[in-house]
């Protein structure tokens, strides 16, 4: 089968979850990450064969944690890196893995499409409440005896993580706009498959003179994916995670798996507390935001079931 670069297919954003590249209970070495990436892109290849024009974004939670450990363990040898620069580094490294893997799949399938990775800055409000009161846990656990030294010398905000120990918390401001949106939209509209917005994007704010300045923060990848989808005028948004379908009463005896819901139903379930902030909540909010801003539909499913979800055989579809 041969498919040339298309400028007429459906535009969609595929948001790969954190388990796309590093999976739980694995060491997470590069060989494993490449193998996971190969499996994770089967559904993406299916959409490409159907002529879709795509932007692909991805999580980076495990990788950020690993890089922060590297920074801590080597701070006596080299200057530490701020979180925003770590996110930028990971966009390049993880983008390389996704880009090369997809290029190889396209070559073997005899599909002619260009693939590229673009570093993506995301504008946030420097006065976002999360900047003033950080809540997002990052990095390794810190011994209680070291708390005073860490907060005094490095200026970190430390909180207890669900009774499991102490960890650094950083801001997680709401994404507002993609800086490179015009470039991304132009390339996607003309058939280039783009890897962009990795890890929620590199957080920046706009100074009074219109220049950009980095923020030591992380952005929720699903909320950023909805902004990306809006910015490139996508019709569909695929949010891929660890579960096949969204469920009410998750992992309880009365669990109900959802095949299709409306935005109104999604908002009600969210307000009722069915979707926690630390798991399904941001994904549902991202779906609501995308559809209310002109998107056609959102499909939430597992990475392994993306092909079936794209054909309507599984997954949860959210519509207007």
Q: What is the mean pLDDT of each run of 10 residues along the chain (320 residues)?
A: 68 89 82 91 96 96 85 90 94 96 97 97 94 81 84 84 81 95 97 96 96 93 96 97 93 94 96 88 96 96 95 96
For residues 141 and 193, membership in a common domain is answered with: no
Domain of residue 151: give its range.
135-170
Non-local CB neighbours of 307 within 8 Å, separated by 6+ positions? 42, 43, 46
CATH number of the domain to which 304 belongs: 3.40.1160.10
pTM of the full structure = 0.91
Answer whether residue 204 is part of any domain.
yes
Residue 195 pairs in a beta bridge with 56, 117
Give the per-residue pLDDT at 4: 56
Give the per-residue pLDDT at 294: 94
For residues 186 and 302, membership in a common domain is answered with: yes
Give the per-residue pLDDT at 45: 97
Q: Are 20 and 37 in contact (CB under 8 A)?
A: yes
For residues 224 and 299, membership in a common domain is answered with: yes
For residues 89 and 191, membership in a common domain is answered with: yes
Please report how many Cα atoms fall inside a 13 Å half-sphere around the Cα of residue 127, on the Cβ side.
Answer: 1
Give the per-residue pLDDT at 133: 86
Answer whether residue 5 is part of any domain.
no
For residues 98 and 155, membership in a common domain is answered with: no
CA distance 59 to 57: 7
Answer whether residue 2 is part of any domain.
no
Give the per-residue pLDDT at 156: 83
Give the per-residue pLDDT at 167: 85
Answer whether residue 51 is part of any domain.
yes
Catalytic residues: 18-19, 136, 221, 283
- How many domains is the chain built from? 2
Answer whether residue 156 is part of any domain.
yes
């Amino acid at each position: 089968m041969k498919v040339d670069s298309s400028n007429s297919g459906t535009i969609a954003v595929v948001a790969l979850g954190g388990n796309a590249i590093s999976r739980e209970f694995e060491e997470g070495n590069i060989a494993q990450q490449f193998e996971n990436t190969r499996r994770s892109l089967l559904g993406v290849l299916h959409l490409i064969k159907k002529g879709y024009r795509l932007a692909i974004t991805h999580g980076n939670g495990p990788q950020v944690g690993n890089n922060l450990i590297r920074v801590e363990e080597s701070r006596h040898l080299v200057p530490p890196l701020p979180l925003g620069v770590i996110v930028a580094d990971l966009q390049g490294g993880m983008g390389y893995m996704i880009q090369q893997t997809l290029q190889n799949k396209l070559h073997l399938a005899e599909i002619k499409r260009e693939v590229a990775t673009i570093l993506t800055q995301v504008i946030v409000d420097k006065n976002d409440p999360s900047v003033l009161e950080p809540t997002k846990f990052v990095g390794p656990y810190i011994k209680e005896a070291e708390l005073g030294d860490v907060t005094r010398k490095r200026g970190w905000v430390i909180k207890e993580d669900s009774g499991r120990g102490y960890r650094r918390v950083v801001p997680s401001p709401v994404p507002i706009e993609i800086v490179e949106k015009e470039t991304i939209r132009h390339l996607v509209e003309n058939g280039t498959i783009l890897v962009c917005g990795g890890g929620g994007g590199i957080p920046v704010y706009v100074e009074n003179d219109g220049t950009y300045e980095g923020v030591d923060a992380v952005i929720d990848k699903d909320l950023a994916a909805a902004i990306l989808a809006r910015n490139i005028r996508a019709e569909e948004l695929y949010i891929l995670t660890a579960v096949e379908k969204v469920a009410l009463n998750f992992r309880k005896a009365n669990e109900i798996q959802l095949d299709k819901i409306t935005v109104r139903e999604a908002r009600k379930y969210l307000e009722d507390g069915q979707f926690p902030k630390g798991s399904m909540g941001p994904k549902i909010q991202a779906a609501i935001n995308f559809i209310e801003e002109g998107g056609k539909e959102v499909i939430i499913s597992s990475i392994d079931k993306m092909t079936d979800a794209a054909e309507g055989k599984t997954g949860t579809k959210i519509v207007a």
